[in-house]
Amino acid sequence: MAVKKIYRPPMDFWERIFIFEAFRGLGITFKHLVLTWFKPGHKLTYEYPEEKRPVAARFRGRHGIRRRPDGSPVCVACFSCQTACPPQCIRIVAEESPDPAIEKRPRSFEINLVRCIFCGMCVEACPCDAIYMTHEYELANETREQLKLTLEDLLDPLEQER
């Protein structure tokens, strides 16, 4: 196998004396330090538990299901979100609705956040805009079972975040 020779230009006198290069690197570090202190909006760190990091408007966090004015879920158990979910983490069991205007409703609706990849395909597939993704990103729990969201977990007061 042939050895490929890489040409590197020779260093001049000032580059061979590494002290000048070290001062140049310290200058860059000092510049960032001064910008962080004195330029507003240039803050790079957050005091996490007390100060939450701002998220973009299109951020996809924990799921939620919208409610009707009477408190029942908007979901009509059409299985579109379950079908569109790539990791197949949504499980729906349907039942007949007591309201004659609505054909069926979910008896149980479960999203397994351990398997979920937060792609948003379930939100796009929903024909009645029942499922949405909130801006909540603190999803740590002690057991895997706590990361399986049921219908009661999804129907919570995060509705105002739309």
Enter the pTM of the model: 0.70
Q: What is the mean pLDDT of residues 83-109?
A: 94
Taking alpha carbons only, the member of 91, 35, 24, 101 closest to residue 70 is 101
Query: Residue 28: in which H helix or E strand, if any?
Result: helix 18-38
* pLDDT at residue 71 in the model: 87
- Give the chain's count of helices (H) and strands (E): 5, 5
Taking alpha carbons only, the member of 135, 145, 83 closest to residue 112 is 145
Chain center to CA of 131: 15
Query: Residue 107: in which H helix or E strand, if any?
Result: strand 104-112
In this structure, the number of other CB atoms found within 10 A of the CB of residue 46 comes to 11
pLDDT (tens digit per residue) in 50-93: 888 889 999 999 999 999 998 899 999 999 999 999 999 999 99
Q: Could you tell me the pLDDT band of residue 20, with boundaries at 50, 70 and 90?
A: confident
- Find the DSSP H helices in 65-140: 80-84, 121-125
Average pLDDT for the chain: 89
Terminal-residue alpha carbon distance, the chain:
62
* pLDDT at residue 161 in the model: 46
